[in-house]
Structure 1
Amino acid sequence: MQIKLQKGDKAPDFRLKNADEIEIALKDLLTKRVVVYFYPKDNTPGCTTQAEEFSALVESFAAKDTIIVGISPDTPQSHRNFIAKKSLKILLLSDPDKSVATRYGAYGKKMMYGKEVQGIIRSAFVIERDGSISQSFYNVRAKGNAQKVFESL
C-alpha cells in the first residue's frame, strides 16, 4: 500500500546532502514555508522544465516567505552540474536510496509508456513552519507545476 500524504499530516523529516555535499535537514528549513518537490532525474527534458519554472518563480515564492527544495535520487555532483548548466536558483537535495521519496509517497508503482514500473512519482508538497503539510500534489505534470503550487499558497 502506497503512502499518500494529505493536508494536516506531519511532513516526514529528512537529512539529505545538497549539491555542495552539505547535509540539510527539513527542520533547519522550517523558519519559512517549504515547497518540496520530487523529480526523477537531473538534465532530462521534463525535470529541466520543472526546475527552470521553479527557478523563474523563486523571487515570487520568497515574497510569500517560501523556499523551494527539489529532491531526486541524483548525486550531489549531478546536482552541481545541473544547477550550473541551467543556472538554477533552487536548492536540490540528493536522495540516492529513495528513502525520503518513499516516506512522502513519491516513490513506487507508476505507469510509464503503458507499463507499470517502480520509480519516482513526480510530486510536490507545501510544508508549513510547524512541519505540517498544507498541500500535496501527486502525479503532476512537469510543465506548469511550479505555477500551480505557487497559486495554492
Structure 2
Amino acid sequence: MTRLEPGSPAPDFTLTDQDGSPVSLSSLRGRRSVLFFYPAAMTPGCTREACDFRDSVEALAAAGIEVLGVSRDDEAKLRRFREEESLTYPLLSDPDHAVHEAYGAWGEKMNYGKKIEGVIRSTFVLDADGRIEHALYNVKATGHVARVRNLLGLS
C-alpha cells in the first residue's frame, strides 16, 4: 500500500460531490485544503468526525483552508448526510475507491479482531501547490479534528 509523505505531490483526481458536480484537486490549486477519507456516511464515528470538521470549517476557512470529505458512498447518501448534519463543505463520492487507493486510504485493517480490506480513516493537509503537508493515517474519529487544528496552528 502506498503511503504519501510530506512534500510529495497529492494524486490528482476528479470526483463528483453530493450534488453530482465534478470536483478536481487541480481546481483547489492556489489555496490549502484538508482532504479527509472516512468509511461511511451516517455511521456514529464518521458523523462525529464530519461534524467536528463542520464546527471547525469557519476557523479553517479564515486560514484559507478548504475542507473536503471523501467516502465510497453514492451522491444521494452524501446529499442526505450533508443535509441531516448541516455540513457546509463538499462530500465527494469515490465508489470504486480508486482515489482512496491513490492516497493510501484503502487497505488491510483490523475490524473487531478480523483482518478485512476497507477504508483506512485518513486525513491529508495539502498546500497551495497540491503537495502533501501532513499525511495522517489510521486516525480516530473522536478528537482528530482538534489534532489537525493543532498541526495547522489553529487551536
TM-score above 0.5: yes
What is the RMSD of the two structures over their aligned residues, measured on CA atoms?
Answer: 0.7
Question: What is aligned with 1:37?
Answer: 36
Aligned to 2:61: 62
Provide the TM-score with structure 1 as the length reference: 0.97
Task: Give 2:89's aligned residue.
Answer: 90
How many angstroms apart in 1 are the aligned matches of 2:127 and 2:90?
Answer: 17
Aligned length: 152
Shift in Å at residue 29 of structure 1? 1.5
In structure 2, C-alpha distance between the alignment counterparts of 1:150 and 1:26, rounded to whole Å: 21
> CA separation in 2, counterparts of 1:37 and 1:137?
9
Q: Tell me the equivalent position of 2:130.
A: 131
Q: Percent identity?
A: 43
Structure 2 counterpart of 1:126, one-letter code: V
Q: Which sections of structure 2, spanning at least 5 residues, go unmatched? A: none
Distance in structure 2 (CA, Å) of the matches to 1:95 and 1:30: 21
Q: Please give the secondary structure, in 1, of the residue aligned with 2:6.
A: coil
CA contact (8 A) 2:30 2:129 kept: no
After the TM superposition, which segments of 4 or more aligned residues of structure 1 sit over 4 Å from their partners? none
* 1:30 positional shift: 2.1
- Structure 1 residue 3 corresponds to structure 2 residue 2: yes
Partner of 1:80: 79
- Whole-Å Cα distance in 2 between the matches of residues 150 and 91 of structure 1? 19
Show structure 1 runs of 5+ residues with no match.
Answer: none
Deviation at 1:150, TM superposition (A): 1.6
1:81-120 paired onto structure 2 within 5 Å: 81-120=80-119
Residues 115-151 of structure 1, C-alpha deviation per residue, up to 9 Å, x if partnerless? 1100000000000011110101000000111111121
